[in-house]
């Protein structure tokens, strides 16, 4: 099983079971996860993302060699963010990066975001875009962060045909028209961590393609079993289940 959406380090607002790298790896192994794409909570609010990404790489190598795959955080509103991107690609050999536009203070119409997509595509990096981190109703009252508005994305994707984009932490069925625009504009996949409703994952697969649906737990902020149950109750065939749980993610890294 490949989980495309886990996070290392500490969530700023409360302690979580699994917020130590060794503990997170142990819990994932118990659930038969063989590979996990790991971002870092430090990449959300820290300004020194170079150090945050270095810690992420070191934690992955020390506690999850062969299992944890680091996805570095890039903030295109910080000075020298292009250098951070190069380090992720050239020095750390990361296969991708993770973005948090709403926490980093820009929207998807910002020219810096367009430049970031272009450079990432040129470097053959998978781009993970987190729409949110948690439901707005559970956020700290002094830290209300609205979800990312994805509506500018389709036009941007048309200019980057080689880009591989993974949308994290969204329920794309809430806006089917936008979902269809996204999937017709480029190579876009969606994780299932925030897909809601009975049979939601199966409905998503029918609306787009089973090949664009990825298993993502958003662990340890969310319960791992929640994502697993969404797949189990979807009544997929064995072939479809393997696609969601492993093959789609593996194929993304091989492109």
pLDDT, one tens digit per residue, over 94-107 is 999 999 999 999 99
pLDDT for the residue 137: 87
Please write the tens of the pLDDT for every residue from 51-87: 999 999 999 999 999 999 999 999 999 999 999 999 9
| Domain harbouring 68, CATH code | 3.20.20.140
Please give the torsion angle defined by the CA atoms of residues 118, 67, 245 and 173, in that order, rounded to the nearest 10 degrees: -40
Long-range contacts, stretch 143-147, CB < 8 angstroms, 24+ apart:
143/13, 145/102, 145/103, 146/102, 147/102
Answer yes or no: are the C-beta atoms of 28 and 1 closer than 8 Å.
no
Domain count, the chain: 1
> Nearest-CA neighbor of 53 among 29, 26, 81, 25?
81
- 106: helix, coil or strand? coil
Reported as a pLDDT band with limits 50, 70 and 90, residue 254 is: confident
> Nearest-CA neighbor of 191 among 219, 220, 169?
169
Whole domain around residue 194: which residue ranges?
A: 2-254
């Amino acid at each position: 099983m490949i989980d495309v959406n886990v996070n290392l380090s500490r969530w700023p607002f409360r302690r979580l079971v699994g917020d130590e790298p060794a503990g997170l790896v142990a819990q994932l192994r118990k659930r038969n996860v063989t590979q996990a794409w790991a971002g870092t909570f430090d990449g959300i609010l820290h300004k020194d993302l170079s150090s945050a990404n270095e810690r992420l790489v070191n934690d992955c190598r020390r506690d999850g060699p062969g299992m944890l795959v680091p996805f570095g955080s890039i903030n295109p509103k910080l000075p020298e963010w292009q250098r951070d991107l190069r380090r992720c690609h050239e020095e750390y050999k990361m296969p991708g990066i993770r973005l948090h536009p709403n926490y980093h203070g820009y929207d998807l119409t910002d020219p810096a975001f367009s430049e970031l997509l272009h450079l990432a595509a040129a470097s053959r990096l998978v781009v993970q875009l987190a729409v949110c981190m948690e439901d707005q109703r559970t956020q700290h009252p002094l830290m209300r962060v609205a979800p990312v508005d994805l509506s500018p994305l389709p036009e941007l994707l048309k200019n980057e045909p080689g880009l591989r984009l993974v949308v994290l932490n969204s329920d794309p069925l809430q806006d089917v028209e936008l979902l269809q625009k996204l999937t017709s504009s480029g190579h876009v996949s969606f994780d299932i961590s925030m897909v809601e409703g009975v049979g939601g994952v199966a409905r998503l697969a029918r609306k787009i393609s089973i090949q664009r649906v990825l298993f993502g737990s958003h662990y340890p902020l969310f319960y791992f079993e929640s994502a697993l149950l969404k797949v189990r109750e979807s009544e997929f065939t064995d072939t479809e289940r393997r696609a969601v749980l492993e093959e789609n993610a593996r194929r993304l890294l091989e492109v």
